[in-house]
Chain A
Amino acid sequence: MSWVHGLRDRLRTLLHPGERDEELAEEIRFHLESEAARLTRNGHDQATARARALERFGNTAHVMQATREERGPSTSGAPMHDLRWALRALSKQPGFTALALITLALGIGATTTAFTVLNTVLLRPLPYRDPVRLVLMREKTATGAIRPVSFPNFTDWREKTRSFSGVASEMFVWSQTVTAGAEPLRATVMGVSSGFFSVLGVQPLKGREFTAEENRLGGPRAVMVSWNFWKTEMHGRAELGDIRFGDEKIPVVGVAPESFRFIDDADLYYPHERMPGTCRSCHNYLVIARLGSGATLESARAEMSTLSRNLVRTYGTDTEAADVEMIPLRDFLVGDYHVMLLIVFGAAGMVLLVACTNLVSAQLARGLARARELAVRAALGASRGRLARQLFLESGLLSLGGAVLGAAVAFLLTRGVRFFGAGLVPRLEELRMDRSVLLFTALAGVGTALLIGVYPALTLAAGSPGRLLRGSRGSRVTVRASVWRLLVGFEVAMAIVLLVGSALLIRTLHNILSADTGFQARGVVTAALAPGDSLDLPRFERLRAELGALPGAGGAAFTNVLPLRWGDGSGPVRRPGDPLDRNWPAMAGFRLVSPDYFTVLRQPVIRGRAFTSADGAGAPLVAIVTPGIAEKLWPGENPLGKQIATNYLFDQWLTVVGVVSEASSWAMPRGGQNEIFTPLAQHSRKIEGRIVAVIRSNGNPADLMPSVRARLRSLLPEVPAKLGTLEERIARSAADRRFAMLALSLFAAIALVLAGIGIYGTMAYTVATRTHEIGVRMALGATPHGVRMRILGDAAGMAFGGIAGGIGAGLFVTRYLQSTLYGVSHVDAIAYLSGAGALLLAALLGAYIPARRSSRVDPMLVIRAE
């Protein structure tokens, strides 16, 4: 362990240089006294002995100096000394240091934040026990479409499968008015099957899961609550008590753990098996299952395929599950976000690369400006390795500072992302920086240090000291012009790729938001109401009339489900004469709407009529269909007056009175979104406690909202309401793209600015080194304008190289974006041209100041300086 001794000794030298000198002096004093004592013993008198001792010792000052030199720092590598040197060099240029630190902090912070998101959403296991063994199952129709599962199929699967240690299901959330304290409130309720929590491996925080009895139709009633609901609405009380659902009091039997969440946020968990569905071709459940020991995804898939074939044999076309779609639960929860998050992460990495490139050129330029200082040090005996190490240490210090600040930036950004991104991207509510994130930041810091440090250190330290010291002008270490071009070109190329990517996403988002949805979303105010189980129709008709007549409003209507959201009902449609058990000719989604619905949404009625208030409870049952239904059921015939029935609406015969154009009812691209609209008044028992008012505003919907809210409060004081706009809903359907677009745009903007700064720095340096040349040119008759244009031309030339490279790289990289684009190709000319244009502009802006400076060179001064 000799190096430990050595190290301790060096450390002491560093920390207490004065103390070491005193010790040495004491040691020498002791030596002289001992020697004098020996000489005295040998017969010398004291004075002579002292003089002899001194003589034999030699020059004490020399000895001390030689010993001091042997201690270290100045004669051989002393890291602390180099560190001090690097710190001093950095603090001498506070402006540069601050800019470099900010640049790196942004780069590392952005990358770390992107990694935190990636880590949370993709890499960290789901918050369930042994989550890799959890799968999600849905029905796969004969045509390959994937649908949620029907209740009878779920129970059959659960009964017959051998592959799983547990099978459970979840019914989509709905909202309902409940009373837990004094006030009624709107709560989201998730229907869960028996064993739902135990399949996920989640223990209730308090109480228990539902018993078999509670899961049976007619059994004792029970409900579970979320941690949040328990804390806020039940004030975390130990006695769980009960919650009122309308007139009924339902005991609370358990509280879910704090972090628990499955797909959607829910306030309450309700045992849905109490209300078993009988429709085998309806699609309302997601089935989750835990692979049993010995089962694999493949073996379970094979078993479930056989099982569903058997079910088809038994139930024929009653079941639409020709096969079972089985995927790991993680893939379902994270799904499409995979690509999006990798894109964002890649973009952040590119920003960091641009930041590093900037610093490489900055370090080079700075080093060249200090060439004389380096030369002096080299002449005084510092080796090349030593100089390189000191220069590298500067980069290392900058990277260290950048990483620390970057972690702080990431901490803030992460909070922002969690706040703004929750709901846009799944699992973001779990977002936090854990140990792997910090490790990532550390690695990013080390990588940055290597990227920005190695090349400048080696290049600058390689300068020959002799030449440097002797020469006056032209005595610098030179960095070839091609290196500058390469650095600037790389930055520009990266920035182009980011700009193109964000332009493509902006255009995608624009296309989505302005896509022809078949209705006019702009200017529609929505108010989601939870009136409870009993809908007082006359009262709602009055409300509708009053809302529609508000100042600034142009009509109001109700629907059970807003567009661009799955309705709770879809099912097969048949004509009179179609056998009940046969393959029915058409599938449709259902919406219950009030009169004026099509007027308010501006969804054109093509044939026949819209609903009126005459289509009430006692009147003949009517329906309005989309053209797709009409074509399938009655090709070439007039659909008006024809009869249809569906088990969704209790197999009652409905008369078609109108055809309405198809709209983007539950997905953006239209085509095949067949729907059947029926009057709300004729099927009010299907609304299940929720209804949405849509109000057409003549101006800005935000201006209309306060009066809508006031009117709702005065007319329906007991009904909770949630206001919004239809445009928001459409925007939310593109949430993942919006997230990527925002991130990419931010990164592209940073990269653009950094590229501009990079060009500025390079040009400023070039101008500074070419002052002499420029002076001579001007003496020979070049105009300031000509000189300026020449510099700008140089900058444009540099930018063009990068732009060409960037476009090439962009064409390659954006292929990975293709699946997320909508209505725009990844080779979109506008995106590339705008990206290139923005960069050219940034380049010229960056070069303008150096160019102006160059044209102010005074030729006389330059020549006299020779």
Chain B
Amino acid sequence: MAKSEGELLPGTFDMLILKTLSLGPMHGWGVSERIERLSGGVFSIQQGAVYPALQRLLRRGWVTAGWQVTENRRRARIYRLTATGRRRLGAETAWWDRARLGVGRVLRAPIQER
């Protein structure tokens, strides 16, 4: 498992994968690579961690997977967001926004002297 997954808030990794897949169907390597790139290197997860996560999303029906032949004639397993997955992403994003706001307010609250 990714050694730095613990640095992510629980559940956020799945959300990131859903977000990545909302940009278009992609294989596992693509997903991990793009998360790294889009986060600007904030998360240094191990790439292999996407596979259990993808499997989890697959079972929940949020993504589907199928084998396709890529441009350089390799067989690759391509993951695709389902309609449910897209709705889920919407819900998670909204939750995340609220949570981020809440956390931010708490953290920025002035520190009072006793």
**Interface on A for B, CB 8 Å cutoff?**
1-6, 9-10, 23-24, 26-28, 30-31, 33-35, 38, 56-60, 62-64, 66-67, 69-72
The A interface, classified by DSSP as helix, strand, loop or mixed, is helix
Give per-residue flags for B42-84: 1 if the beta carbon is below 8 A from chain A beta carbons, else 0.
0000111101110110111110100100000011110000111
Q: Is the CB of B61 within 8 A of A6?
A: yes
> How distant is the Cα of A27 from the Cα of B77 in the complex, in angstroms?
6
Indicate which residue in B75, B76, B77, B82 contacts A2 across the interface (CB closer than 8 Å).
B82
Does B29 touch A at the CB level, under 8 Å? Answer: yes
Contact residue range for chain B? 20 to 34
Residues of B within 8 A of A56 (CB): 46-47
Does B34 touch A at the CB level, under 8 Å? Answer: no
Report the nearest A residue to B60, measured CB to CB: A6
Q: Is the CB of B48 within 8 A of A38?
A: no
> How distant is the Cα of A800 from the Cα of B5 in the complex, in angstroms?
67
Q: Is the CB of A58 within 8 A of B48?
A: yes
Residues of A within 8 A of B49 (CB): 58, 63
> How distant is the Cα of A383 from the Cα of B46 in the complex, in angstroms?
32
Q: Is the CB of A70 within 8 A of B47?
A: no
Report the nearest B residue to A70, measured CB to CB: B55
Q: Is the CB of B61 within 8 A of A70?
A: no
Residues of A within 8 A of B55 (CB): 67, 70-71
Question: Can you list 15 pairs linking A and B with CB atoms under 8 Å apart?
Answer: A5-B61, A5-B82, A6-B58, A6-B60, A6-B61, A9-B58, A27-B28, A28-B48, A30-B29, A34-B29, A58-B2, A58-B3, A62-B48, A63-B51, A66-B51
Q: Is the CB of A31 within 8 A of B28?
A: yes
Knowing A30-B74, A31-B28 touch, does A3 contact B61 (C-beta < 8 A)? yes
Does B38 touch A at the CB level, under 8 Å? Answer: no
> How distant is the Cα of A31 from the Cα of B28 in the complex, in angstroms?
7
Does B99 touch A at the CB level, under 8 Å? Answer: no
Report the nearest B residue to A6, measured CB to CB: B61
Q: Is the CB of B77 within 8 A of A23?
A: yes
Residues of A within 8 A of B74 (CB): 30, 33
Does B1 touch A at the CB level, under 8 Å? Answer: yes
Residues of A within 8 A of B46 (CB): 56-58
Most chain A Cβ neighbours within 10 Å, of B33, B59, B64:
B59
The B interface, classified by DSSP as helix, strand, loop or mixed, is helix
Residues of A within 8 A of B77 (CB): 23, 26-27, 30
> How distant is the Cα of A632 from the Cα of B53 in the complex, in angstroms?
103
Closest chain B CB from A581 CB (angstroms): 93
Most chain B Cβ neighbours within 10 Å, of A26, A33, A66:
A66
Q: Is the CB of B59 within 8 A of A31?
A: no
Closest chain A CB from B108 CB (angstroms): 36
> How distant is the Cα of A6 from the Cα of B57 in the complex, in angstroms?
9
Residues of B within 8 A of A10 (CB): 59
Give per-residue flags for B1-43: 1 if the beta carbon is below 8 A from chain A beta carbons, else 0.
1110000000000000000000000011100110000000000
> How distant is the Cα of A62 from the Cα of B59 in the complex, in angstroms?
19
Closest chain B CB from A672 CB (angstroms): 81
> How distant is the Cα of A220 from the Cα of B99 in the complex, in angstroms?
102
Knowing A4-B61, A5-B61 touch, does A30 contact B27 (C-beta < 8 A)? yes
Indicate which residue in B2, B52, B76 contacts A30 across the interface (CB closer than 8 Å).
B76
Closest chain B CB from A67 CB (angstroms): 5
Residues of A within 8 A of B83 (CB): 2
> How distant is the Cα of A66 from the Cα of B50 in the complex, in angstroms?
10
Residues of B within 8 A of A28 (CB): 48, 51
> How distant is the Cα of A540 from the Cα of B43 in the complex, in angstroms?
117
Residues of B within 8 A of A62 (CB): 1, 48
Indicate which residue in A2, A58, A64 contacts B60 across the interface (CB closer than 8 Å).
A2
Most chain B Cβ neighbours within 10 Å, of A24, A31, A35:
A31
> How distant is the Cα of A854 from the Cα of B102 in the complex, in angstroms?
70
Residues of A within 8 A of B67 (CB): 23
The 4 closest A-B pairs by CB, nearest first: A2-B61, A58-B46, A63-B48, A2-B84
Closest chain B CB from A39 CB (angstroms): 11
Report the nearest B residue to A55, measured CB to CB: B46
Closest chain A CB from B30 CB (angstroms): 8
Q: Is the CB of B1 within 8 A of A57?
A: no
Q: Is the CB of A70 within 8 A of B48?
A: no
Q: Is the CB of B47 within 8 A of A31?
A: yes
> How distant is the Cα of A6 from the Cα of B74 in the complex, in angstroms?
26
Indicate which residue in B2, B29, B58 contacts A31 across the interface (CB closer than 8 Å).
B29
Q: Is the CB of B52 within 8 A of A66?
A: yes
Closest chain A CB from B6 CB (angstroms): 14
Knowing A5-B82, A63-B51 touch, does A26 contact B59 (C-beta < 8 A)? no
> How distant is the Cα of A62 from the Cα of B51 in the complex, in angstroms?
11
Knowing A23-B77, A63-B51, A66-B51 touch, does A9 contact B59 (C-beta < 8 A)? yes
Most chain A Cβ neighbours within 10 Å, of B48, B75, B85:
B48
Q: Is the CB of B51 within 8 A of A27?
A: yes
Residues of B within 8 A of A23 (CB): 67, 77
Residues of B within 8 A of A58 (CB): 1-3, 46-49
Most chain A Cβ neighbours within 10 Å, of B32, B61, B67:
B61
Report the nearest A residue to B32, measured CB to CB: A31
> How distant is the Cα of A69 from the Cα of B47 in the complex, in angstroms?
18
Knowing A5-B58, A5-B61, A35-B29 touch, does A67 contact B52 (C-beta < 8 A)? yes
> How distant is the Cα of A33 from the Cα of B29 in the complex, in angstroms?
10
Most chain A Cβ neighbours within 10 Å, of B27, B49, B58:
B58
Residues of A within 8 A of B53 (CB): 70
Residues of B within 8 A of A38 (CB): 33
Residues of A within 8 A of B47 (CB): 31, 35, 56-58
Residues of B within 8 A of A9 (CB): 58-59
Report the nearest A residue to B30, measured CB to CB: A34
Report the nearest B residue to A63, measured CB to CB: B48
Report the nearest B residue to A69, measured CB to CB: B52
Q: Is the CB of A60 within 8 A of B48?
A: yes
Q: Is the CB of B48 within 8 A of A26?
A: no
Closest chain B CB from A10 CB (angstroms): 7
Residues of A within 8 A of B48 (CB): 28, 31, 57-60, 62-63
Closest chain B CB from A580 CB (angstroms): 95
Report the nearest B residue to A32, measured CB to CB: B29
Residues of A within 8 A of B61 (CB): 1-6
Residues of B within 8 A of A66 (CB): 1, 51-52
